[in-house]
């Protein structure tokens, strides 16, 4: 395979060089355009973020620097628990979404193709129903739930629904990339039952899609405000909003937001790193081996 690819690529590369040789001026102009576009867009995205960081480090007097706002993050009542709750919500929502969607989608792909349109429609519905409408509908149910348990963790029911469209699309892409039918038939002819087919043959080949759907779900949960606020639960975004109204020191608001952002960023890095290692090495053991080898060097 590798030989074929390299043979296929060589003439193309050569062609590129020749063309480049003939049109140096045009290529230079194109490169300048690229750099300008890149710089403009980088500024557009980075400036607000840099401003956020700068404000979080603002001292008592304008223009001075101070780490006080970062130190105060944990001193606000409710903030730490809100962070904790939000993280727990992210984990629970991810798990429930995966448990709900992965087996269902594989099953539909393998056994009841006719239902795939219906399921897709159902999963995409939360995209077109505004969160506000959803909450109005869910309000009475949450009123009942509150009789038994008032923990904000109950929010995961809504979050699972809100995350369905994104998780569904991510998983559908992953499933579409593998020949589910042939793989499952091969496994079955070798003696595998449906559970084995699902978890030892299909799922290991859609890890990237599973990670993507986890990433999207956690991003959604980390940034959710409307539902939590209306249902009167305290999650990270609601806590940040409360602080911004109650405190004179806006710095805490910025430091907390930055922290949340950094956290999401680190999560994204970890997930995409795992995804890359998986697709390159093919298995967890291979990624572990690669890490160990790197460590030894």
The contact set with another protein (CB under 8 A) reads 1-2, 4, 178-179, 182-183, 185-193, 196, 201, 204-205, 282-283
Q: Smallest distance from the beta carbon of 283 to another protein, in angstroms?
A: 6
Which positions ≥6 away from 91 have C-beta within 8 Å? 218
Nearest residue (CB) to another protein, 16 versus 282: 282
Instruction: Considering the complex, state which of residue 4 and residue 128 has its C-beta at the smaller distance from another protein.
Output: 4
Of residues 72 and 287, the one with the C-beta less far from another protein: 287
Nearer to another protein, 103 or 281 (CB): 281
**Strands (DSSP E) found in 149-227:** none
Q: How far apart are CA 187 and CA 200, in angstroms?
A: 9
Euclidean distance between CA atoms 25 and 242, whole angstroms? 57
Could you tell me if 157 and 221 are in contact, meaning their C-beta atoms sit under 8 angstroms apart? no
Shortest gap between Cβ of 187 and another protein (angstroms)? 7
Nearest approach in angstroms of CB 172 to another protein is 18
Smallest gap from Cβ 170 to another protein, in A, equals 18
Q: Which is nearer to another protein, 170 or 201 (CB)?
A: 201
Supply the minimum distance, in Å, between the C-beta of residue 196 and another protein. 7
Give burial (CB, 10 Å; 0-12/13-18/19+) of 272. middle
SS3 58: strand
- Helices 207-222/156-176 angle, 10° precision: 150
């Amino acid at each position: 395979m590798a030989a074929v690819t390299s043979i296929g690529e060589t003439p193309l590369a050569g062609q590129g060089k020749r063309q480049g040789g003939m049109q140096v001026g045009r290529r230079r102009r194109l490169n300048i355009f690229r750099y300008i576009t890149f710089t403009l867009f980088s500024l557009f995205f980075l400036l607000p973020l840099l401003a956020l960081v700068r404000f979080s480090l603002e001292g008592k007097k304008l223009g001075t620097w101070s780490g006080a706002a970062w130190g105060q993050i944990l001193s606000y009542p409710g903030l730490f628990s809100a962070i904790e709750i939000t993280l727990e919500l992210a984990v629970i929502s991810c798990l429930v979404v995966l448990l709900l969607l992965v087996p269902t989608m594989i099953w539909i792909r393998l056994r009841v193709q006719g239902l795939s349109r219906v399921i897709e429609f159902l999963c995409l519905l939360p995209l077109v129903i505004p969160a506000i409408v959803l909450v109005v509908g869910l309000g009475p149910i949450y009123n009942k739930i509150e009789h038994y348990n008032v923990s904000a963790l109950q929010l995961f029911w809504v979050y699972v629904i809100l995350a369905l469209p994104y998780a569904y699309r991510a998983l559908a892409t992953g499933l579409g990339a593998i020949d589910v039918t042939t793989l499952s038939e091969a496994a079955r002819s070798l003696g595998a039952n449906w559970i084995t087919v699902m978890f030892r043959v299909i799922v290991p080949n859609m890890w990237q899609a599973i990670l993507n759907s986890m990433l999207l779900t956690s991003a959604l949960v980390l940034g959710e405000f409307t539902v939590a606020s209306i249902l009167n639960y305290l999650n990270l975004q609601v806590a940040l909003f409360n602080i911004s109204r109650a405190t004179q020191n806006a710095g805490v608001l910025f430091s907390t937001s930055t922290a949340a952002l950094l956290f999401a960023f680190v999560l994204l890095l970890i997930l995409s790193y795992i995804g890359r290692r998986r697709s390159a090495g093919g298995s967890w053991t291979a990624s572990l081996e690669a890490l160990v080898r790197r460590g030894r060097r």
